Each structure stands twice: as structure tokens, then as C-alpha cells.
Amino acid sequence: MKNRSKKTKFANTAFVVCNTLFMIAFVVITLYPVWNTVAVSFNDGIDAVRGGIHLWPRKFTLKNYQTVLGLESFATGAYITVARTIIGTLLALATNALLSYIVSRKRFLFKSQLSLFWVITMYVNGGLIPVLLLYKTLGLTNSFWVYVIPGMISAFNMLVMRTYMMGLPDALEESAQIDGAGDFLIFTKIISPLCKPVYATVALFVAVGQWNSWFDAMLYNRTKSEYTTLQYELMKLLSSVMQQSGSATSVNTAANNATITPVSVRAAATVITMLPIICLYPFLQRYFVTGLTIGGVKE
Amino acid sequence: MKRKTKAVGPRVTWKEIKRQKFLMICAALFVIYGIIFYYIPLGGWIMAFQNYKPRTGLLHSAFVGLDKFKFLFSDKTFLQVIRNTLAMGVLNLVTTFVMAIVFAILLNEIKSVKGKKTVQTISYLPHFLSWIIVTGILHDAMSTNGIVNEVLQALHIIDEPINYFAHTKYFWAIVAFANVWKETGWNAIIYLSAITSIDPSLYEAASIDGAGRWAKIKNITLPGIRPTIMILLLMNVGNVLNAGFEVQYLLGNGLIKSVSDTIDIYVLTWGISQNDYSLGTAAGIFKSVVAIVLIVIANQIAKKTGDERLF
């Protein structure tokens, strides 16, 4: 008996040690590359090409940041990205919420047909080329609106919001109806205030998607530099790094001098682009955890 | 009798329709939006059966039947991109699933609440970074003077730094690793919440019966999250072919094209760069059809094994 409990105790300790080591390794592998980018972004460009920079810059400089912030395309990209994130999120939130309100009304005559109509869009889509042609026909290409109008309503967000709204007690709506409130009032004054958590969740999903997208800028607004986005500018920097991997050729900018390289400039641009997200996401945790849990449940 | 059956659903009367005017009008607007942005592009599938010329448009381009599809399946590159897409899709699906489940179970075993919370918060971080940033970071880490080569050299596993992006044999593993790095913490969220909803008395009973940690994981935790695993697997099977665009597009290069190009990249190359809209559309249709077939098959299997299913 004694021997056995000793054995389990040993196994237990071994497990705890291994598990802790695993978690430490996990955290290091997750954080190191991000931190390393920060270190490189503060390091002299030419010096960085030699490699060997780990946690701290070897030759400290702010030149990389000065260069990035001085790039006109980057400033435009930042402006457009902020605009599309704000406008896109507000539009998506308003429309998805209204749609979810409609399909979550038990008394609505076509609720199941309308739901199905949208769920189908999750599985079938026209594909890249027909969509591109459509946007061209509608005049959405070479414009800012291609970022916010086409992807506005998503069936997934609708399902998340619908599930949440269906969980609210019917009595709320019924008593408002008896008081003579119409659907618009019930939606804005009764249901929406109660849906703040799920609205926050969807807003977060949409905002992150908007902030991070680059493909639409490349595909629909390639020739329109006034509609470029941060991520697309970053992508261009990335490909310049990959093409000249390891070489010390400098970027063509007004502030051009031999101490900046694509690698270091890209690192600075990366840090600027991910900074808002890194600062904000820890505070929004509870929202996306709820959202994911609702979304994963079968409707 | 008649009355009773009628009273079950909402009655379609003019009075009811009038009362739901606001809902009806908004619903109609949403349907119009949906038709324009999701259903009209499906009409573009006609292009795959035409020799589409932008000048003549959809209505006046010549029909060529299945010629474009015949060309696709006789094109060696297309068969290659199908292989790449499937291989990377399946590899990503398996690795991200297994890692998320393992991570969730191990994290759940951590007793310190603070430690658990910290690790979890950190684990979400990569999910919020764009693929541009992730591939950039990865490219740095795996470059010839990057940390991966440095560590492997320090451990004497390799003598010379390896340029991982110049050899075809590493690419699929790199893509799988990138996906695991980015999504493990995020995907684990849903398993962690499933684990917390398992009845704690099951664990207590098992402890009394002398079950060890592994026995509990194997006999309580895993069966407890099995429905969640199955439903997520089902939802993701249809996406297997979608798993191949951003990373491959950003990390691929001329040297490793034969393993990095996917169906989406093929569509992009032919459709946009070569301006062969018909061929691009045909490849896109192939992808959609395979996705639907995969979902239906997975759903049938789930039905047979008695698990949750999508429809």
C-alpha cells in the first residue's frame, strides 16, 4: 500500500514538473518571436543583418521608426485602416444585429426561411473571379467602400447573435408590445441594451478582421495608393525582405541613408501595426470567450 | 380540430403581415443584399462553361461546354495544386486539432489560477496578429541566421544553417507549424469551456476508485469533450480546401512552387494575372464542389457513429 501511494506521488510530481515545463516552453515559443521583432525594430539596420539579436537591441536606434512614420504610404495606410475598422465595425454591427433580431422573433412568419437563406452563404460562394467581376460592375473596385460593404453581413455573426437573442425571455417583448411598442422600438430600446456582451463580441471579431485584412486592398485597390491599408503596406515590405533576404540594400525613402534595411524597417512597421491589438486584446478576453462558446454550440 | 392545428404556427393573414411590416421590409432588404453579394456571384459560374471575354461579357461569350474542366484535369500543375491543397489542409486540420486539445487538457491540469490565466492570455496573442505579421516573424525566425538555425546548431543537430524556404521538403511542415503557432490557444478556448462543464463529481468518484491522472483524462475528460471535438471537426472538414491561401501565398517562392501552390493561388494566377476568367472560375467551382462533398460525407459518418451533426 505504502509503496503504491509513493509511486503515485512520484508520478504526480513528475507530471506537474513536465506540465509546467511544457507551459513555459509554450509561452517562450509564443512570445519570443514577437519580442525579437521588437528588439530588431530598435536596432541599427545594417547591424541587424548580421543576425544574433535576441532579446535586446545591440545598436540602439530610433531610425527605423522615423523612417516608417515618414513614409507617406504608411501614413495613408494607417488612416484607411483606422477608417475601415471604425466604419466597417459599426456597419457590420448595426446590420447583423437587426438581421439577428428579425430571425430570432418567434412570431416572424419567414424566420426559418431567412435563416436558411443566410446559412447557405456559409457553404456556397461564387469564388474569387465572379466576385471580382461583380464588384467591378457595381463600381466597388478602386474605392474605399469595397472594404466595408461586401463583407458586412456574415452568417456566422448572425448565428452568434441570434442564439444570444433567443436566450432572452419572451416576456420582455410581450410586455413592450402590450404597451404599444413597435419592432423598431423593441429592437433599439429593449433587446439591444441587453445584448451588449454579444455585440461587443461581434464588434471585436469584425474589428480584428478589418484591421488585419490586406488581400482586398491588393485585389481591388492595387492601383489606388490612396486606399492602401497598413497590412498591405506591410506585405509589400515583407516581399521586399524576402527578395533581398540577407542583403543590406536600403529602402528608397526620403530619409534614405545606409543604416536602414528592409529587415529593420519591416520590424518597426510590424510593431506599429500590432501594437494596438496587443494593448487591447487582454481586456476584451471575456467577450471573445463568450462569443466563441455561443458560436460553437449547434443551433 | 381544424382550429387547433392552425393555432400551432403563426397564421399568415393580412393583419399579421401588416403588423410585421417593419420586420418584413428589413428582411426584404437583407434578402436583396444577400442576393447581390452572395447569390449573384454563383451566376458567374456560367463563365466556367464559356470562353469568357470581358469585351463580350457573360451574355455573349461563346459556350465551350466542359472544355475548361478538361483542360484543368489534364494540366499537371492543377493536379499538383490539388495534392498540395489537400495535403496541407489535412495536415493543418490534424495538427491544429490535436495541439488545441492537448493544450486545453494540460492547461486544465494547472492548479494555479493565476498561472493558468496568464498562460491562456498569452496563448491568444498570435490569433490576433495578421498572417502578414505571422509569416514575417516566421520568416525571420527560420532565416539562415535566425533563431531556429541558431538553436539547432548550438544543439549540434545540424552543422550548417539551413535555408528552409529553399527546399521543398520543409514547406508543408512550416505551414502546419505556422497554423499551430497562430491558432492553438484560440482553438483551445472552446475545449476549455467544454472541460469546465464536465460534472466535477465524476472526477471525485474516479479519485475514490483510485484512478490516476491519465485514467481520468482518458475516461472522463476526453469522452466529455467528444461532442465538441466532433462538431468542430465537422465544421472544419469543409474548410480543408480553404486552408491554403495566405500562408502559402506569402511564404511560397519560385524554388518551392511545386509544393507551395494551392488551388486558390492557381485561381489567382490564372484568373487575375493571366486574365483567363473562365479557367479561374472552373478551378473555383471544383473547390466548392469538393468542399460540399466533404461536408456531406463527414455528416453521414457522424450520423452513423451517433455523434452530433450539422444537418
Considering only CB atoms, which chain B residues are within 8 Å of A281? 124-125, 128
d(C-alpha B289, C-alpha B169), whole Å = 30
Which of A15, A99, A298 lies closest to B30 in CB terms?
A: A99
Rounded to an integer, the average pLDDT of B128-150 is 89
Asked if residue B155 is part of any domain, the answer here is yes
A192 touches chain B (CB under 8 A): no
Contact B119, B107 (CB under 8 A): yes
Considering only CB atoms, which chain A residues are within 8 Å of B17? 109
CATH, residue B185: 1.10.3720.10
> Does B3 score more than 60 pLDDT?
no
DSSP, collapsed to helix, strand or coil, labels residue B63 as strand
A278 touches chain B (CB under 8 A): yes
Name the helix (H) or strand (E) containing B62: strand B62-63
State how far the alpha carbon of B97 is from the alpha carbons of B70, B88, B90, in Å: 36, 14, 11
Name the helix (H) or strand (E) containing B101: helix B76-108
> Does A7 score more than 90 pLDDT?
no
Which of A26, A184, A288 lies closest to B119 in CB terms?
A: A26
Contact B61, B52 (CB under 8 A): yes
**Beta-carbon separation of B42 and A130 below 8 A:** yes
Considering only CB atoms, which chain A residues are within 8 Å of B135? 238
d(C-alpha A130, C-alpha B52), whole Å = 11
B200 touches chain A (CB under 8 A): no
d(C-alpha A4, C-alpha A12), whole Å = 12
> Looking at chain A, which residue has its C-alpha nearest residue B276?
A129
**Beta-carbon separation of A130 and B285 below 8 A:** no
> Does A60 score more than 90 pLDDT?
no
The domain of B222 spans 73-305
Asked if residue B286 is part of any domain, the answer here is yes
> Does B1 score more than 50 pLDDT?
no
The x, y and z cell numbers of residue B214, run together, are 491519465
Number of CB pairs, chain A paired with chain B, less than 8 A apart: 236
Angle at B6 between CA B4 and CA B12, to 5 degrees: 155
**Beta-carbon separation of A130 and B103 below 8 A:** no
Lowest mean pLDDT among A60-64, B56-60, B188-192, B251-255: B56-60
The x, y and z cell numbers of residue B84, run together, are 498540395
State how far the alpha carbon of A26 is from the alpha carbons of A32, B86, B150, B166, B182, in Å: 10, 28, 19, 27, 12
Distance from CA of B39 to the nearest CA of A (A): 7
Rounded to an integer, the average pLDDT of B273-286 is 87
Name the helix (H) or strand (E) containing A232: helix A230-243
Which of B12, B133, B146 lies closest to A274 in CB terms?
A: B133
pLDDT tens for A247-296 read 444 444 434 455 678 888 889 999 999 999 888 888 888 787 777 777 65
Which of A129, A238, A293 lies closest to B44 in CB terms?
A: A129
The x, y and z cell numbers of residue B33, run together, are 443584399
> Looking at chain A, which residue has its C-alpha nearest residue B44?
A130
The DSSP line for A25-83 is HHHHHHHHHHHHHHHHHTB-HHHHHT----SS-SSB-SHHHHHHHH-HHHHHHHHHHHH
d(C-alpha A22, C-alpha A31), whole Å = 14
* Sequence spans of domains, chain A: 37-299
d(C-alpha B158, C-alpha B74), whole Å = 41
Q: Residues 72-101, chain B: which have Cβ within 8 Å of A?
A: none
d(C-alpha A276, C-alpha A84), whole Å = 15
Half-sphere CA count of B28, side-chain side, radius 13 A: 6
Provide the mean pLDDT of chain B.
86
pTM above 0.90, yes or no: no
Considering only CB atoms, which chain A residues are within 8 Å of B36? 134, 138
> Looking at chain B, which residue has its C-alpha nearest residue A23?
B119
Contact A288, A207 (CB under 8 A): no
Q: Which fold has domain A37-299?
A: MetI-like fold (1.10.3720)
- Where does residue B71 rank: exposed (0-12), middle (13-18), buried (19+ CB within 10 A)? middle
Which of A29, A109, A114 lies closest to B20 in CB terms?
A: A109
d(C-alpha B60, C-alpha B62), whole Å = 6
Half-sphere CA count of B311, side-chain side, radius 13 A: 9
Supply the angle between the helices A155-166 and A72-104 in degrees, to the nearest 10: 40
Asked if residue B121 is part of any domain, the answer here is yes
> Looking at chain A, which residue has its C-alpha nearest residue B238?
A123
Identify the band that residue A124 occupies on the pLDDT scale cut at 50, 70 and 90. Answer: confident
State how far the alpha carbon of A75 is from the alpha carbons of A80, A224, A230, A240, A267, in Å: 9, 15, 8, 19, 16
pLDDT tens for B175-210 read 999 999 999 999 898 898 889 888 889 988 988 888
- Interface predicted TM-score (ipTM): 0.86
Rounded to an integer, the average pLDDT of A15-19 is 90
d(C-alpha A274, C-alpha A268), whole Å = 10
Residue A253: predicted pLDDT: 43
B292 touches chain A (CB under 8 A): yes
Residue with cell string 478582421:
A209
Asked if residue B218 is part of any domain, the answer here is yes
State how far the alpha carbon of B91 is from the alpha carbons of B97, B133, B176, B177, B273, in Å: 10, 22, 6, 10, 29
Secondary structure of B212-280 as H, E, C letters: CHHHHHHHHHHHHHHHHHHHHHHHHHCCHHHHCCHHHHHHCCHHHHHHHCCHHHHHHHHHHHCCCHHHH
**Between residues B286 and A292, the one the model is more confident about:** B286
Strands (DSSP E) contained in chain A are none
Asked if residue B4 is part of any domain, the answer here is no
pLDDT tens for A188-215 read 999 999 998 889 889 988 999 999 999 9
- Where does residue B257 rank: exposed (0-12), middle (13-18), buried (19+ CB within 10 A)? middle
Which of B31, B110, B129 lies closest to A277 in CB terms?
A: B129
Which of A102, A121, A267 lies closest to B38 in CB terms?
A: A121
Considering only CB atoms, which chain B residues are within 8 Å of A15? 109, 213
Q: Residues 123-152, chain A: which have Cβ within 8 Å of B?
A: 123-134, 138, 150, 152
Distance from CA of B1 to the nearest CA of A (A): 22
d(C-alpha B150, C-alpha A245), whole Å = 17
Provide the mean pLDDT of chain A.
85
A249 secondary structure, DSSP code: P
d(C-alpha B122, C-alpha A28), whole Å = 10
> Does A65 score more than 70 pLDDT?
yes
Identify the band that residue A240 occupies on the pLDDT scale cut at 50, 70 and 90. Answer: confident
Structural domains counted in chain B: 1
Distance from CA of A256 to the nearest CA of B (A): 23
> Does B59 score more than 60 pLDDT?
yes
A70 touches chain B (CB under 8 A): no
**Beta-carbon separation of B281 and A127 below 8 A:** yes
DSSP, collapsed to helix, strand or coil, labels residue B50 as strand
Asked if residue B261 is part of any domain, the answer here is yes
**Beta-carbon separation of B228 and A118 below 8 A:** no
State how far the alpha carbon of B56 is from the alpha carbons of B40, B47, B53, B121, B280, in Å: 19, 12, 5, 55, 18
State how far the alpha carbon of A161 is from the alpha carbons of A156, A171, A232, B67, in Å: 9, 19, 31, 45
**Beta-carbon separation of B34 and A121 below 8 A:** yes
Which of B39, B106, B284 lies closest to A127 in CB terms?
A: B284
Neighbouring CB atoms inside 10 A of A222's CB total 14
Considering only CB atoms, which chain B residues are within 8 Å of A293? 189-190, 193
> Does A179 score more than 50 pLDDT?
yes
pLDDT tens for B150-174 read 889 889 888 888 888 888 889 999 9
> Does B28 score more than 90 pLDDT?
yes
> Looking at chain B, which residue has its C-alpha nearest residue A18?
B106
d(C-alpha A1, C-alpha B167), whole Å = 57
A108 secondary structure, DSSP code: -
Measured in degrees and rounded to the nearest 5, phi and psi for residue A59 equal -120, 95
> Does A122 score more than 50 pLDDT?
yes
**Between residues B153 and B7, the one the model is more confident about:** B153
**Beta-carbon separation of A30 and B264 below 8 A:** no
d(C-alpha A101, C-alpha A112), whole Å = 13
- The alpha carbon dihedral of B185, B191, B194, B196 has a sign of negative
> Does A149 score more than 90 pLDDT?
yes
Considering only CB atoms, which chain A residues are within 8 Å of B23? 102, 105, 108, 183
Asked if residue B138 is part of any domain, the answer here is yes
Rounded to an integer, the average pLDDT of A114-131 is 87
Angle at B277 between CA B135 and CA B236, to 5 degrees: 45
The x, y and z cell numbers of residue A244, run together, are 533581398
The x, y and z cell numbers of residue B220, run together, are 472522463
Name the helix (H) or strand (E) containing B51: strand B50-51
Distance from CA of A257 to the nearest CA of B (A): 23
d(C-alpha B266, C-alpha B279), whole Å = 10
A231 touches chain B (CB under 8 A): yes
